[in-house]
Amino acid sequence: MIGLENTTLLALAAAVIMASVHVCSPWLAFLDKTPRSIWLSIAGGISVAYVFVHLFPELARLQEEHFGQTGIDAFLYLFAVVGLVGYYGLEQLAKHRGGGPDRKTPAAVFWLHLGSFAFYNMLIGYLLEEQARLEGAGGMALYAIAMAVHFVVNDRALYRHHGTLYLAPGRWILAVAAFAGWALGLVVEIDTKWIACCIALLAGSVTLNVIKEELPEEREARFWAFALGAATYAGLLVL
């Protein structure tokens, strides 16, 4: 069995890898092409499989254990809806008011969009330690892999919306946010009920942030690659 200290080191390594995705953003430009990169579609499938096969069943358990007396049978799922709707609204704002690789985004739109993803990354980083505590090193590793490849999907989407503004300072802020979230998890312990709400919020927002990249017709997404990523990771999760 892996001890607590070693689990913390594994979580640190995962946080560094997640942060490195954004740091390495300029070298990920080869993924920006049409038809959509096979690797991005596989990454999207992995992230969605993790949400539906792991996070939603976990929410069902947490709902029963901690919110069964609220009188609202789907209390936690309301937070998932908030995550999905909230990030959909931000996507529409960035799409219609944002810039692009060759156009400058209005400052207010950029900082609002970036701030929302900084919170998103911090939340994902914070939950590394929680996943290690609740599910051990193996569960944390599955979470870290799914979220790291999800960071790649988000990274390319943010570059598409904001171009050079994202490369500096945006990507550095997101990298620091992911690492800061992990560090915060070492020193601040949040009540399990709030952790459950955070997981629900994350589940909804991950679902939206993946699907919005796969559905637009002009992206010419690779269904088979998305399905392969989802099926492979779902298989790992149920073993």
> Residue 27 domain-assigned?
no
Q: Across the strands, what pairs with 100? A: 103
What is the full per-residue pLDDT of the chain (239 aa) written as tens digits? 455 567 888 899 999 999 999 999 999 999 998 899 999 999 999 999 999 999 999 999 999 888 876 666 788 999 999 999 999 999 898 888 766 665 677 888 899 999 999 999 999 999 998 888 888 889 999 999 999 999 999 999 999 888 888 998 999 999 999 999 999 999 998 998 999 999 999 999 999 999 999 888 777 888 999 999 999 999 999 98
> Residue 30 domain-assigned?
no
Number of folded domains that form the chain: 1
Q: Which residues form the domain of 75?
A: 4-22+44-238
> Residue 37 domain-assigned?
no
The two structure tokens encoding residue 213:
């990249």
> Residue 35 domain-assigned?
no
> Residue 34 domain-assigned?
no
Q: Across the strands, what pairs with 103? A: 100
- Cα-Cα-Cα-Cα torsion 66, 71, 60, 188, nearest 10 degrees, comes to -30
Pairwise CA distance, residues 68 & 190, whole Å:
20
> Residue 33 domain-assigned?
no
> Residue 54 domain-assigned?
yes
> Residue 232 domain-assigned?
yes
